Amino acid sequence: MRKSKGLKKGTLPVYIILWIASILSIFPFYWMFVMATRPSAAYNSIPPTLLPGDQLVENFMKVLDTIPFFQAMWNTILLCTTVTLAVLLISSLAGFAFAKFEFPGKNFFFILILLTMVIPPQLGLIPQFYLVSQLGWLDTLLGAGVLFLLNPLGIFLMRQYISESVPDELMEAAKLDGCSNFRIFRSIVLPIIKPAFATLGIIVFTLVWGEFLWQFTVLRDPASYTLQVALASLNNAFRVDFGMLLSGVFWATVPLIIIFLIFNRWFISSITEGSIK
């Protein structure tokens, strides 16, 4: 009884280390916010500025003058949402096929998917860029998104989940009632695999949200910028206004942090499910 109130004996060093790790993890977020509310000169002051100032609006206005921020935000949301929905559909269909149907060459195709996971994305970068430019998709969200449709991990997750959670008996019963395979997919499989959709959806959405190399390669026109490309362009000026720069980063990061804090359990479990299975 006595122990339950205070710290257990010997745990103090552990708490100290965990607190240090937590503070170091969060500090850059806090500091980004402080800098976003300060004039650019604040980073020069000694001792360093650690409390928020009053330039929150001014700095963000400067961001709006430099990059098409809201356009980039809209482009990013549109890109992430479309790609996520498309990957969910493609992966669940293929996962369903690999989990429940027998067809010649099934193992060959599955191993082929395994191999695609090992090829580094940079190998095809130049031909992919050439292909997209030939199709006239440079500076379009179509060009920026098409690469992300290739998501072998999604098929793995979906195959695993469907073979574990969709009972064969249910499918047979539906077949006896004259259900077509696609009807089975739509009315039996889809409702069952909703949790897997959440996992894969989070993985794909955050992946596309944060990816840089491909978006940077394909999107050259500011009107087509996604957030990451727009933010990176803030850093290209000869004399960078740090208050403005971190204001841009702050407002571009806040939406994802809010989503993360609300759904943190799902985010964290998506990592273990996505990497261990």
Partner 1 sequence: MESVQKRQQASKVKKSTTQMSEKKKDMLSGYLYIAPFFIIFGIIGLYPAVFSIVLAFQDWNGLGEMDFVGLSNFVVVLQDPLFWKSLYNTVIIGLMGTAPQLVVGIILAYFLNMAVIRFTNFFRVTIFMPYITSMVAVALVFGVFFSSSETALANYVIGLFGMDPVSWKTSEWGAKIAISLMVFWRWVGYNTIIYLAGLQSIPKDLYEAATIDGAGKVQQFLHITIPMLKPFIILTVFMSTVGALQLFAEPAVFLGSSAFNRDEAMTVVMYLYRDAFNLGSFGTASATAVLLLIIIVGAAALNTWLTSGVGRKQKRRAFTK
Decide whether 103 or 221 has the Cβ nearer to partner 1: 103
Which residues in 179-218 contact partner 1 (CB under 8 A)?
181-182, 185, 206, 209-210, 212-213, 216-217
Decide whether 85 or 271 has the Cβ nearer to partner 1: 271
Q: Rounded to the nearest whole angstrom, what is the least distance from the CB of residue 123 to partner 1 in the complex?
A: 5
Handedness of CA 83, 88, 93, 99 (dihedral sign): positive
Q: Rounded to the nearest whole angstrom, what is the least distance from the CB of residue 74 to partner 1 in the complex?
A: 17
SS (H, E, C) 97-149: HHHHCCCCCHHHHHHHHHHHHHCCHHHHHHHHHHHHHHCCCCCCHHHHHHHHH
Tokens standing for residue 37: 């509310």
Convert residues 258-277 into a mask of x (bound to partner 1 by CB under 8 A) and - (unbound): --xx--x--xx--xx--xx-
Run of H or E residues at 14: helix 12-36
Convert residues 92-131 into a mask of x (bound to partner 1 by CB under 8 A) and - (unbound): -xx-xxx--xxxx-x--x--xx--x-xxxxxxxxxxxxxx
59 binds partner 1 (CB under 8 A): no
Tokens standing for residue 9: 């004996």
Which residues in 225-264 contact partner 1 (CB under 8 A)?
227-228, 231-232, 234-238, 240, 242, 245-246, 249, 252-253, 256-257, 260-261, 264
80 binds partner 1 (CB under 8 A): no
Decide whether 25 or 191 has the Cβ nearer to partner 1: 25
Decide whether 48 or 223 has the Cβ nearer to partner 1: 48
According to DSSP, residue 55 is labeled -
Run of H or E residues at 4: helix 2-5
| Rounded-to-integer distance, Cα 258 and Cα 242, Å | 24
Q: Rounded to the nearest whole angstrom, what is the least distance from the CB of residue 134 to partner 1 in the complex?
A: 10
Residue written as token pair 């949200």: 209
